[in-house]
Chains A and B, each alone.
Chain A
Amino acid sequence: MSNLGVMAVTVLLAVPATAALLLALLPDYRIGARLNVSAALLSLLAAAALLWMKPEPNLYLRVDDFNIYLIVLNNLVSFTTSVFSASYIAHELETGRLTPVYLRFYHAMYQALIFAMNLAFLANNIGLMWVAIELATLITVLMVGIYRTRAALEAAWKYFILGSLGIALALFGTILVYLAAQPVMGEGLPAMAWDQLLAGAGSFDPALLNLAFVFLLLGYGTKAGLAPLHAWLPDAHAEGPTPISAVLSGLLLNVALYAVLRFKMLMNANPSALAPGPLMVGLGLLSLLFAGLMLYRRGDIKRLFAYSSIEHMGIITFAFGMGGPLANFAGLLHMTLHSLTKSAIFFAVGHISQVKGTQRISTIRGLTVTHPALGWGLVAGVIAIAGMPPFGIFMSEFLVVSSTFARQPLLALLLVLGLLLAFGTLLWRLHGLAFGKPDSGPAMPVQAGILPMLAHLALVLIAGVWLPGPLVAWFHNVAVLLG
C-alpha cells in the first residue's frame, strides 16, 4: 500500500518538474498547451490516489489528514485552469499580446509553479516549505510581468519587492523556530521536521516561539494578501495573464495560509506560548473591512475580484483565529469553496475581457444579452462569492458568523459589517456588468472554453446543497487537529 503512496508522491513532484523542462524545449505552442493539460491531469490523478494510500512520513515529505485535501484541491484547480488556459492563450496569441517564445516560457513556468505548490504542501521540513514558497513567489513574479507593458512591469516589481520581503521575514521566523527547537530536539534535521516539532513543542522556549510566530505571520501573511501587507495583490492580479490570476487567488494564497496554520498548530501545542488566535482575528478583520471598503471604487474588473480575494482571505484567517471545531470547520470549508469559486470567476472574467478588449468595468455592460454563457456564468459566480444561497459559500460564511456570535458578539458585528459591505458592492457592480444596456462596442469573437467554469460552479453549488459524508468527516477531523 504505502509503496504506491510513495509513487504517488513522486509523481506529484516529478511530473510537473519534468513537464516544465519539456515545455521549455518544445517550440510548438499547441502541443505545449496539450502537454500542459495532460501533465496537470496526471498530477491530479496522483493526488487523488493519495486519498487511499498515504506514504509513511519522512524527514522531508509528509502526507497527513490536513494537507491531503489541499493537495487534491490544488491539483484539481491547476488542472481546470490549464484547460482554461489552453483556450485563453490561443486568443492572446492571435491578438499579439504574447509571442510563441513567451508562450513556451509561460507553459514551462506554469508547470514549475504546480511543482512548487505541491512541494510546499507536501513538505514536512519547515525549511523545505519555505524554499517551495519562495520558488512559487519568484515564478509568479515572472508570470505577472509577462506582458511587458509598463503597468505589468510595475505590478511585477511591486510584487517582487513585497513578496521577497515577506519571504525574508518568514525565513527569519523559520530560523527562530529552529533555535527554539534545537535545545530540545538536538541539532540537525529533526529540529526542522514539522511532525517532530509538533511532538516536542510543549517544551520549547515560549518567548522565542512567540517572536518566531510574529515574523512568520507577517511574512507568510504578506503572501496570503492580508492587510496591511496586501499592496502587491491587486496589481499582480490585474496585470498578469488571467489564468495566473486564477491560480494566484485560488491556490497560492491558500499555500501561504496553510503555512501560517502549520505554525499556529505549533503555537497551540505549547501552553505557555502566546495565543495566536487574537493576532489572526485582528489581521483577518482588518483585511475584511479594508477590502470591503476598497471594493467600492474599483474601475478594473480583475482588480475588483482581487480585492474580493483579500476580503475572503480575511474571513478565512478570522475563522481560524477564532479557533474551536466549528470555526475551523467553517474556515476549511470556506478555503475550499473560495478557491473553486474565485477561479471560476477569473475564468469568466478572462474571456469577458478578451471579448470586450478591456478590463474597465464602465465599458463592460449587458453581458447576459451579448454573451449569455459567460454573462450568466459570471452572475452565478458573483452570487456565490457574495455569499448568497444556494451556493456553498453561504453556508461557510453563515457558520463563521454564527460561531462568532455565540462567543464574541461584538466581533461578529464587525464581521457582518464587512460581509455586508462586500456583498452590496459586488451585487451593485454585477448589475451593470450583467444586466446594463449593452453598448454597441466592438465585440471580438472568442473561442471560450466554459467547461472549467461550469465544473467549478457546479461543485460549489453541490457543496451548498449537500456535502458528502467523508468530506464532512474529514473537515471535522482536521478542525479538531487545528485546535
Chain B
Amino acid sequence: MHGLAFDIAHFLAGGMVVVSFLMLYQDRLSALINVFALHSLVLVLAVGWQATIQDAHHLYVTAGIALVFKAIIIPTALHRIVRRLGIHRTLEVVGGVGLDMLAGAALVALAILVMLPVTATTDALAREDLAFALAVLLLGLLLMITRQNAVSLVVGFMSLENGLVLAAAGARGMPLAVEISIAFSVLIALIVIGVFLFRIRERFDSVDMQAMDTFREERRK
C-alpha cells in the first residue's frame, strides 16, 4: 500500500482539491465549465487508480460512468445551455475572489483537521482520500454560496458530487449499486436542471438568482 501506489493516489486526490481552487477564481462561465470538466477528468483518473490498487474492478465502471457523464456529456450540455441562453458574461463573486480563496484555504485546513484525527484507525489510503473528499465537498459548497448565477450554482453542486464519488471510491469494497445510482441520479439531476434553467430564463428573463429572491412572501405585498 505504500510507496509509489500511495503517492499517485495522494497526488490525484490532491489534484482534485487544486482544481476545486481553480474553479473558485474563474470569472467567466465557459471557463468555469471547462475547469469543471478538468475536475471530473482528475476524478476519473483518481477513481481509476483506486480501482487498480484496490484490485476492485467495479470501480472501473464508476470511473467509466464519470468519464462519459461528468467529463463529457454534462460539460457539453452546460456549454450548450450557456450558448442558448446567451449568458457568457462575467460572473459576479460575492465578497471578491481574494476573500473566496482565503475562505477556501480555511475550509481545506478544516477538512484535514476534522478528518485525520477521526480516521486514525482506518488505512492510510482511505484516510487521505476522505480528507481530500471532504475538502472538495466544502469547496463545492463555497462555490455554490458565493455565486449568483444559476449555472455556476449547478457547477458547484456537481463538483461537490465529485467529492462524494471520490469518498465512495476511497471506501474499500463499497458496493457497486450505490455508485451506479449516484451516477444515475446525477443524470436525472441534469435533466431537471436543464428543464429548470430554460423555464427560469423564460419566466424571469435572467438566470441571476437575485431576480428570484423577490418572490418571498414578505416582499410580495
Contact surface of A with B, Cβ cutoff 8 Å: 127-128, 130-131, 134-135, 138, 141-142, 145, 148-151, 153-154, 156-158, 160-161, 164-165, 168, 171-172, 175-176, 178-179, 182-183, 186-189, 191-192, 205, 207-208, 210-211, 234-235, 238, 297-300, 303
**Option from B171, B182, B218 in Cβ contact (under 8 Å) with A182:** B171
**Option from A171, A205, A299 in Cβ contact (under 8 Å) with B182:** A171
| Given A171-B164, A207-B118, A211-B114, A157 and B126 contact (CB-CB distance below 8 Å) | no
| Given A138-B188, A183-B122, A150 and B203 contact (CB-CB distance below 8 Å) | yes
B161 in contact (CB, < 8 A) = yes
Q: Is the CB of B175 within 8 A of A172?
A: no
B6 in contact (CB, < 8 A) = no
Shortest beta-carbon distance, B4 to chain A, in Å? 24
* Residue of chain B at shortest CB distance from A175: B167
**Option from B118, B126, B137 in Cβ contact (under 8 Å) with A211:** B118
Q: Is the CB of B173 within 8 A of A188?
A: yes
B172 in contact (CB, < 8 A) = yes
**Option from A187, A238, A303 in Cβ contact (under 8 Å) with B172:** A187
Q: Is the CB of B168 within 8 A of A150?
A: no
Q: Is the CB of B185 within 8 A of A138?
A: yes
Shortest beta-carbon distance, B197 to chain A, in Å? 9
* Residue of chain A at shortest CB distance from B193: A160
- Give A191 to B144 CA distance when docked, in angstroms: 33
- Other than the given A127-B175, A131-B181, 5 more pairs (CB < 8 A) read A154-B215, A164-B189, A168-B160, A207-B117, A207-B118
**Option from B178, B182, B189, B199 in Cβ contact (under 8 Å) with A138:** B189
| Given A164-B157, A299-B217, A192 and B212 contact (CB-CB distance below 8 Å) | no
- Give A244 to B209 CA distance when docked, in angstroms: 25
Q: Is the CB of A134 within 8 A of B185?
A: yes
6 nearest A-B pairs in the assembled complex, by CB-CB distance: A187-B173, A127-B178, A207-B118, A131-B181, A154-B212, A154-B215
- Map CB proximity to A onto B156-190 as digits: 1 under 8 Å, 0 otherwise: 01001100100110011111011001100100110
Q: Is the CB of B175 within 8 A of A131?
A: no
Interfacial chain B residues near A165, Cβ < 8 Å: 141, 144, 157, 160
Q: Is the CB of A160 within 8 A of B196?
A: yes
- Give A187 to B157 CA distance when docked, in angstroms: 29
Q: Is the CB of B192 within 8 A of A160?
A: yes
Interfacial chain B residues near A156, Cβ < 8 Å: 196
How many chain B residues touch the partner (CB < 8 A)? 48
Interfacial chain A residues near B11, Cβ < 8 Å: none
Interfacial chain B residues near A189, Cβ < 8 Å: 175
Q: Is the CB of B185 within 8 A of A131?
A: yes
Q: Is the CB of B168 within 8 A of A175?
A: yes
* Residue of chain A at shortest CB distance from B204: A150
B87 in contact (CB, < 8 A) = no
Which B87-128 residues have C-beta < 8 A from chain A? 114-115, 117-122, 126
- Give A165 to B115 CA distance when docked, in angstroms: 20
Interfacial chain B residues near A238, Cβ < 8 Å: 217
Q: Is the CB of B174 within 8 A of A142?
A: no
- Give A189 to B174 CA distance when docked, in angstroms: 7
B153 in contact (CB, < 8 A) = yes
B42 in contact (CB, < 8 A) = no
24 A-B Cβ contacts within 8 A?
Answer: A131-B185, A138-B192, A145-B196, A148-B199, A153-B199, A157-B200, A158-B212, A161-B144, A168-B160, A168-B164, A171-B168, A172-B164, A175-B168, A182-B171, A183-B121, A188-B175, A205-B121, A208-B119, A211-B118, A235-B216, A238-B217, A298-B217, A299-B221, A300-B217
Interfacial chain A residues near B217, Cβ < 8 Å: 234, 238, 298-300, 303
B130 in contact (CB, < 8 A) = yes
B134 in contact (CB, < 8 A) = yes
**Option from B119, B153, B215 in Cβ contact (under 8 Å) with A179:** B119
* Residue of chain B at shortest CB distance from A214: B114
- Give A192 to B168 CA distance when docked, in angstroms: 13
